[in-house]
């Protein structure tokens, strides 16, 4: 039984080592592209975009109920 478990673990290890880097390559490329885009835009523009988005979606204050 232990021999079968060891063979299965060895096969899973080889699949993981062989298939993980090619499967991860598109994700790494997308993340590096996103990093380049974020770095190309000045920080002040990002802050302004966040503030504008927050102001547009800011919840309206509810009036206090008086009894």
Rg (CA), the chain: 26
pTM (2 d.p.): 0.49
- Residue 22: phi, psi to the nearest 5? -65, -35
pLDDT tens per residue across span 4-34: 999 999 989 988 888 888 888 898 999 999 9
- 23 vs 13: CA distance, rounded Å: 15
Closest listed residue to residue 54, CA positions, set 62, 42, 64, 46: 46
What percent of the chain has a predicted confidence (pLDDT) above 90? 57
């Amino acid at each position: 039984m232990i021999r079968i478990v060891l063979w299965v673990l060895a096969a899973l290890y080889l699949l993981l080592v062989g298939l993980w880097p090619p499967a991860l390559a598109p994700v790494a490329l997308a993340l590096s592209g996103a990093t380049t885009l974020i770095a190309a835009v000045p920080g002040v523009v990002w802050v302004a975009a966040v503030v504008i988005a927050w102001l547009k979606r800011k919840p309206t204050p509810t009036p206090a109920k008086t009894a």
